[in-house]
Structure 1
Amino acid sequence: MRISTVTMYEQSVNSMNRQQGEFMKVGQQIATGRRVVNPSDDPQAASRAVGVSQAKAVTQQFADARVSARNSLSQSESVLNSVSDAITSAKTLMVQAASDTLSDVDRQSVASELRGIYETLIGQANATDGNGRYLFGGFKDSSPPFIRDLEGRVSYVGDENSRAQRIDASREMPASDNGAKIFQSVAVGAGYVAEAAKFDDEGNRTGNNAGNITFRGPQVTDPSADGFGDTFTVIFGGDDAAPTYTLTAVDSDGIERTLVADEAYVSGDPIGFDGLSLTLEGSPQPGDSLRVGQAPEMNTDVFKAFERALAVLETPAGTPSQKAELRNSLNTTMREFDNSLDNVLTVRASVGARLNELDVVDAVGGNRMLNYEQTLSDLVDLDYAEAISEYSLRQVGLQAAQKAFVDIKGLSLFDYLR
Structure 2
Amino acid sequence: MRISTPQFYGSSLTGILNQQNTLNTLSQQLATGSRIVNPSDAPVAVAQNAALNGQIERLGTYTQNAQYAQGALQLESKTLQSVGTLIDQVRQLAVQMNNATVNAQDLRNAAAAMKGYVEQLAQYANTQDGQGNYIFAGSKSDAMPFVLEADGRVRYLGDGGQNQLALGPSLSAAISDAGDGIFLSARAANGQFTVSSNPANSGSATAGPGTVNDRALADQLLLVNGTQYQISFSGSGSGTTYTITSGTGGVFSPTPMASGSYTEGMSLGLPPGGSPAITVPILGTPANGDQFTVQAASPQGLFETFQSLAAALTATDTSPGTNARRAQAISNALASLDQNQTRLLDTQATIGARLQQVQAVQAQNTSLTVRLQTEQSELTQINYPEVITRYQQSLTALQAAQKAFMQLQGMNLFQYL
- In the alignment, what sits opposite 1:399? 399
- Give distance in 1, aligned partners of 2:40 and 2:200: 90
Alpha-carbon deviations, 1:33-80, whole Å to 9, x = none? 111222222221221111111111111111111111122122222211
- Asked if residue 270 in structure 1 is aligned to residue 267 in structure 2, the reply is yes
- Which residue of 2 is the match for residue 157 of structure 1? 157
Pairing of 1:125-164 with structure 2 (within 5 A) = 125-164=125-164
SS at match of 1:300: coil
What is the match of residue 50 of structure 1? Answer: 50
Q: How far did 1:191 drift?
A: 4.4
Change (3 A) 1:284 1:311: farther
Distance 1:88 1:193, change over 3 A: farther
Give the C-alpha shift of residue 222 in structure 1.
4.3
Shift of 1:184: 1.4
**2 CA distance for matches of 1:354 and 1:220?**
33
Q: 1:382 aligns to what?
A: 382
> Does the C-alpha gap of structure 1 residues 247 and 283 become closer, same or farther in structure 2, counting only changes over 3 Å?
farther
Cα distance in 2 for residues equivalent to 1:72 and 1:54 = 27
Determine whether 1:219 maps to 2:211.
yes
Contact 1:12/1:404 (8 A) holds in 2: no
| Counterpart mapping for 1:111-260 below 5 A | 111-186=111-186, 191-196=191-196, 208=199, 212=203, 214-223=206-215, 226-227=217-218, 230-231=221-222, 232-235=227-230, 244-247=243-246
- SS of 2:210's partner is strand
Partner of residue 37, structure 1: 37
2:267 maps to amino acid: P
| Counterpart AA for 1:35 | R
Identity %: 26
Q: Quote the residue 1:85 is aligned against.
A: 85
3-state SS of paired residue (2:96): helix
Q: Deviations over 1:195-220 (max 9, x none)?
A: 3157xxxxxxxxx4556563123123
Change (3 A) 1:127 1:13: same
Q: CA deviation at 1:152?
A: 2.3
Q: Would the aligned equivalents of 1:163 and 1:175 in 2 still touch at CA under 8 Å?
A: yes
Query: Under a length normalisation based on structure 1, what TM-score does the superposition of the two structures give?
Result: 0.85
Q: CA deviation at 1:381?
A: 0.5
Matched, 1:329 2:329: yes
The unaligned stretches of length 5 or more in structure 1 are 199-207, 251-256
* Preserved CA contact (<8 Å) 1:140 1:158: yes
SS in 1 for 2:53: helix
Q: Is the 8 A contact 2:207 2:292 kept in 1?
A: no
Matches within 5 A, 1:283-362: 283=287, 285=289, 290-293=293-296, 297-362=297-362
One-letter amino acid matched to 1:33:
G
Cα distance in 2 between the residues matched to 1:18 and 1:108: 97
State the 1:348 CA deviation: 2.0
Q: TM-score, normalised by structure 2?
A: 0.85
**C-alpha RMSD of the superposition:** 2.9
Query: Distance between the aligned counterparts of 2:408 and 2:141, measured in 1?
Result: 82
Show CA shifts across 1:91-135 (max 9, x none): 111111111211232222222222222221111111111322222
Corresponding residue SS for 2:27: helix
> How far off its partner does 1:303 sit?
0.6
User: 1:24 maps to what in 2?
Assistant: 24
Deviation of the 1:345 alpha carbon: 2.0
Would the aligned equivalents of 1:77 and 1:348 in 2 still touch at CA under 8 Å? Answer: yes
- The Cα shift of 1:285 comes to 4.3
DSSP 3-state at the match of 1:217: coil
Of residues 314-323 and 270-279 in structure 1, the stretch that sits farther from structure 2 once superposed is: 314-323
Gaps of at least 5 residues in structure 2 are: 271-275
Cα shift at 1:4: 2.7
Offset of residue 193 of structure 1:
3.9
- Tell me how far 1:11 sits from its aligned partner: 1.5
Q: Distance in 1 between matches of 2:195 and 2:348?
A: 28
Cα distance in structure 2, aligned partners of 1:320 and 1:357: 55
- Whole-angstrom CA distance in 1 between matches of 2:130 and 2:155: 23
